[in-house]
Amino acid sequence: MSHHLNCRVSDSLWQALRAEAERTGHSISHIVQEALSSALDLEHHSIFQVSTTGAIVKGVFGGCATVADLKSHGDFGLGTFENLDGEMMMLDGHCYQAVADGVTTEAGDTWQVPFATVTRFRADQSKVIEEISDLDTLQIRLDELRPSQNVFVGLRLDGLFERIDMRAACRAQPGEGLVEATSHQSEFSFENIQGTIIGFWTPTFAKALNVAGYHLHFLSADRTVGGHVLGVKAKKLTAALHLETDFHVGIPETEAFLKADLQEDPTAALDVAEKGFVRDR
């Protein structure tokens, strides 16, 4: 939801706003919002991320931040918990863990997190999308709404899902990487369920930091089930997009992260672990 702000400003401030708009090419509305966000210490249109997908692929699953830390940076997002113990969904400022069969629990503020991506979600655009027969169709519909291949996007999709297929990562065993750990994940489906898809689209240039393309989790309207989305079918969903212009990464200071070899491209492993396929080269 957005609001209109009407106020009087001095001539000197108005001229300064116009000069800044001419210099940057941004609208005066954008400049005012950024200035207010900075003055009020709000992270407007910013992603905050804990660790990197490259580290997760290598099995760096130890907690390096708390749920409370995440809430200080956002009210919407996804991730996992210490030792890859289930899927994380953050919605409207509340954080949930989905485990086997999709059963959810609200996470405590002291729970540890090895990887998560959060933002303060405010829709920049919203549109009803229809006749979603599968996950590929959903992604095509969302591609039509995204304004650029080079901007991070937060995604919220609300509605009645005819069917949604999901998984929840199970607690990893010592020494396992992401592919091995997700090979014994719990997979499950629900039909005719009201809920919300929580997700992000990440540009290819950031593939060493996050999952390139779409990364989607689901949370039911009653907050009782959720998980990582593998498949979806719906007649109509309301899609809201939040364009992200800043990206901040909290680098873990744990011994496991500092000693991990993160030079490899994690894309192939992420395709297997997150999407269940090997991408054509």
| Domain formed by 46-275, architecture | 2-Layer Sandwich (3.30)
pLDDT at 265: 79
Model pLDDT, residue 23:
80
| DSSP 3-state of 242 | strand
Question: 249: closest CA among 117, 71, 54?
Answer: 117
Q: CA–CA distance from 98 to each of 32, 178, 238, 250 (Å)?
A: 39, 17, 23, 24
Q: Give me the amino acid identity at 13.
A: L
Other Cβ atoms less than 10 A from the Cβ of 193: the count is 18
Please answer whether residues 107 and 149 qualify as being in contact, where contact means their C-beta atoms are separated by less than 8 angstroms.
Answer: no
Specify the pTM.
0.81
Delimit the domains of the chain by residue range.
9-42, 46-275
Q: Which residues lie below 8 Å from residue 259, measured CB to CB, with a gap of 6+?
A: none
Scored b (16 or more CB within 10 A) or e, 258-280 reads eebeeeeebbebbbbbbbeeeee
**Residue 46 vs residues 17, 34, 41, 209, 255: alpha-carbon distances, Å:** 22, 11, 12, 15, 28
Residue 145's alpha-carbon distances to 125, 127, 216, 245, in angstroms, are 9, 9, 16, 17
**pLDDT confidence of residue 138:** 97
Secondary structure, 3-state, 201-219 = EECHHHCCCCCCEEEEEEE
Integer Cα distance of 73 and 63 in angstroms: 17
Render each residue's pLDDT in the chain as its tens digit; 281 residues. 456 788 888 888 899 989 888 887 777 886 787 677 666 655 567 899 999 988 888 888 888 899 999 998 999 999 999 999 999 999 999 999 999 999 999 999 999 999 999 999 989 999 999 999 999 999 999 999 999 999 999 999 999 999 999 999 888 877 777 878 777 788 999 999 999 999 999 999 998 899 899 999 999 999 999 999 999 999 999 999 999 988 889 888 888 888 888 888 777 877 776 765 433 43
Identify the pLDDT of residue 281.
32
Query: Partners of 126 in the beta sheet?
Result: 240
What residues have CB less than 8 Å from 276, skipping those under 6 apart?
Answer: 230
pLDDT of residue 273: 66
- 3-state class (DSSP) for residue 251: coil
